[in-house]
Amino acid sequence: MCHNHHVHHHVRNPICCIIPPHMLETLAMRGDKRTRSMAQALMKQNAEVREERAAMPLAPSAMAAAAPAPAAKRNLKRAIHDGGKKVGLPGKLVRSEGQPPTGDKSADEAYDGAGVVYDLYFKEFGRDSLDNAGLKLVATVHHRANYNNAFWNGEQMAYGDGDGRIFRTFTELSVVGHEMSHGVVQFSGGLLYRGESGALNESFADVFGALTVQRKANQSASQADWLIGKGILGANINGVALRNMKAPGTAYDDALLGKDPQPYHMDFFVNTTGDNGGVHINSGIPNHAFYLYSQLVGGNAWGKPGKVWYDALQTINNSTATFNDWARETMDSAVNLFGLGAMETLYLRRAWKLVGISV
């Protein structure tokens, strides 16, 4: 979701944006006139998009489902639209499944990225699309003019082009993986977009955004940079990405954007009413736990660590889960996969302990 709203159904059906509200608030406070009005317009748009979303019926995904059998057959269906810089979704269809590249960089990146994300979930976890039932992957590029955001609205992806100054692209692969993974969370019973469960929702999306990039590049956990939104910041912004799972709190430190507020340990947990209770801030803690676990296990993070996280999401059946609930669920998942005394299970306990959570 893109800005504070304290109405329950908005939290049930969130618009999951890549740019956190705390960043927009800082831009509105510190920016020049142009930047201020951009940030304020973005907050306002986000509220409008949420109003529309709240009026939609709740997706059936909100009902917890038993983990279905792994999908047998690859069933990838993509539909990329050009929003023409307008507000309406989805816009004009420019590339359907199997069609050749359009030559429009954003459209082709959204198309390719959706395929990479589909393959991660299908080949590694036996999941057929976001809903595990072959959901068509619909995306809109060139959404609104100079729009500094990307989001999953419960039904489709939308990517702005950025303003070219503060943000330069939103079809970067970790962003695509992050936003589509919000769909996976939604169709796996959901995690309420507020407080710790909301931070877990954000963290799951970051974890699988990072895994999307790592698997595509065939990088081991130790080779990867663990950055979310790498390359989307403008040339003059002092930062490398939106978030850094390896070192939360260090992704950017900029006169305009402010300093990355993410904690890496429970000792630094941020209590705030903003950002739906800090969903984009405290997600640094479970993000870092996953990073540490992947380092301890070694090899490819989408292998054993990814399986533990994916399975935990399928079995937790608790939309208001806390960090402790999630840590326990991942432990159960590890015990189930590897056994109680296995190194993979002991490493997981250690990773949680290193971020201040005892399981």
User: Which are the catalytic amino acids?
Assistant: 179, 280
CA dist 106 and 142 (Å) reads 8
User: Strand 92-96 vs strand 150-152: parallel, antiparallel, or unpaired?
Assistant: unpaired
Is residue 94 within 8 Å of 104, Cβ to Cβ?
yes
CA dist 50 and 71 (Å) reads 33
CA dist 225 and 296 (Å) reads 16
CA dist 67 and 75 (Å) reads 18
CA dist 87 and 100 (Å) reads 27
CA dist 89 and 245 (Å) reads 32
Residue 150 DSSP symbol: E
Q: Which of 249, 331, 334 is nearest to 285 (CA)?
A: 249
Q: Is 332 exposed, middle or buried (0-12, 13-18, 19+ CB in 10 A)?
A: middle
CA dist 110 and 179 (Å) reads 11
Q: Is 206 helix (H, G, I), strand (E, B) or coil?
A: helix
